[in-house]
Amino acid sequence: MTFNDSSRYNRDRQSVTRRILGYMLPYKWRIALSMLASLGVSGTDIAIAKLVQPFVDKLVVAGDMNTAKIVPIVIISLAAVKGFSRYFQEYFIRTGGQLVVQNIRDELFHHSVILSIGFFSKTSSGTLMSRILNDVAVLQNALAVILVGGLRESLTLVGLTAVAFYADWKMALMAFVVLPLAGGPAIWIGNKIKQYSRRGQHAMGILTTILEQTFSGIKVIKAFGGEHRESEKFRQENLSYYRFFRKMVKYDSITSPFIEIISSFGVAGIVFYGMHRVISGQMTQGELFSIMTAIFLMYTPVKRMTRVNNVLQQAIGAAERIFEILDERPEITDVPGATVLERVRGEVSFEHVDFAYQDELVLKDFHITAMPGEVIALVGPSGAGKSTAASLLARFYDPSAGRILFDGHDIKYATLDSVRANIALVDQETFLFNDTIENNIRYGRPDASEKDVLRAAELAFSHEFINDLPEGYQTKIGDRGLRLSGGQRQRICIARAILQDAPILILDEATSALDTKSEAMVQKALGNLMQNRTTFVVAHRLSTIMHADKIVVLEAGHIREIGTHQELIDKGGIYCRLYEMQ
């Protein structure tokens, strides 16, 4: 590691540590109570070291029976003080640590869901799951060790050091001379552990991604006989995780033996020098055993502190990955002083809108106006920019140039909540939550009455099949609504949009994955949904948009044609060719 790398490492470590400490401030009283209890734990070890001298001199050497009588009482008393102190110390510090981690996990999840769609397009859900679950779990375990072990061992080390120097500063100094020798290697080992901890957590993120994709796509895997291929992929990534874990364990395991060997030089020097002083009459046997006990007990927290440092490096590695997400800023946010849109009439204008994904221009000079209640169909070959226009309308992205207006208001300068309150979306990906049908329908309006839910379901032609289910509207429909057919799922989504009662509607390939019978039923439901709403329909099936007020034909991000179905057929252009192909 170069000097610059080392200074950056120390700076990053300090920054991460400060941020973790910031999360601990609300629970400072729990930590303070734990510190008080730690004094009891540390004090008993210090008392043991101090009591060795009178025990040896008065009882072992002089045979004082009065001292012998109080020894059992002292032992039981010290054990009781240490036991109760340890209980309160661990209870307060562990519950405090859990609350800290709980707040971090809550904030991490909340921050993740408010990030823009662009972030999710480049970050796998498995990676996010790994950060929220695995990295926070590493931090949780580490905090328990650091807060409990670090606090207790630090106080014990300070107390025993004071006893040793008070008893004989020369012998105590001999014990401390060897400890700085372990400092450099201990830092190097800690850095290695942090490095492999981060890489191991990254490997765990890949494992989580494989799991998420495998279980979500199990039908495709089985249909194409990919079970063994997926199992081998998982086995290879699992092996990769083990290799990082093995290296981390290797460096962690070498710490204690290294400290043991280094400290043995100090112990050898103390024993030799101490025996010489006892023989020469410069100190009593009790004094020798007292200082040796203090020094031996002192080495134990030193070894434990190096292990705590290793755990701290794991925590910093996990925390860095957590803070990477927390430091990610949403691309789409409310501008300062953003206005709150009331319910709009439904006039929508795209004014010379450009949009590019990174450097790839996918929409160029897109310019149309929809009057309240009109149906605008967006058609064209794949990649023409149809879904991009719909995404801009929902303000999942902001235009690179131009603007989008609702009733004359630029939506970029309106609050996101008020923009999306005026929009209902029915997507080609019929996503339903693993919850009851009723809760799925009222997702956009949690405060909707039961009567409103029933009416929305009736308008979506869903009420009949819902009542046929074992628990009706209280039926849980499984992950992504797998207990329902494709047409049923889509009608639940339509009921959700009806209940939302927004003046602007986006239908993005809403019937593309349905069979003819299901599509006919869904089209009837969509007819109810589209009444008195400005509707943008993204469609491949041209038969579904023949009655649109305007059909906008896109090709390579440009508007090539605009008109009604008959006008575009008569024109004999791109739309006519697409229609004849179908």
How long a stretch of residues is the chain? 582
- pLDDT (tens digit per residue) in 214-266: 766 665 666 656 777 778 888 888 888 888 878 877 877 777 677 677 767 76
What would the mean pLDDT of 163-177 be, rounded to a whole number? Answer: 72
- Which residue's entry shows tokens 């009921």? 495
- pLDDT (tens digit per residue) in 331-361: 888 889 889 989 899 899 999 999 988 778 8
Architecture of 13-326 per CATH?
Up-down Bundle (1.20)
Give me the DSSP letters along 366-407.
EEEEE-TT-EEEEE-STTSSHHHHHHHHTTSS--SEEEEEET
Tell me where in the chain the CATH 3.40.50.300 domain(s) lie: 348-581
Task: Give the percent of the chain with pLDDT over 90.
Answer: 5
Model-level pTM?
0.71
Distance CA(485)–CA(432), nearest Å, equals 12
* Closest listed residue to residue 418, CA positions, set 473, 340, 519, 363: 340
The CATH number given to 348-581 is 3.40.50.300
Tell me where in the chain the CATH 1.20.1560.10 domain(s) lie: 13-326
Distance CA(513)–CA(511), nearest Å, equals 6
Band (pLDDT 50/70/90 cuts) for residue 367 is very high
What would the mean pLDDT of 513-525 be, rounded to a whole number? Answer: 64
The residue that leads in pLDDT, 221 or 448, is 448
Give the per-residue pLDDT at 52: 65
Q: With 0-12 CB in 10 A as exposed, 13-18 as middle and 19+ as buried, what is 511?
A: buried
Listed in sequence order, the residues at least 6 apart from 24 whose beta carbon sits closer than 8 Å to its beta carbon are 31, 96, 100
- Helix (H) or strand (E) segment spanning residue 31: helix 28-54
SS3 172: helix
What would the mean pLDDT of 553-580 be, rounded to a whole number? Answer: 84
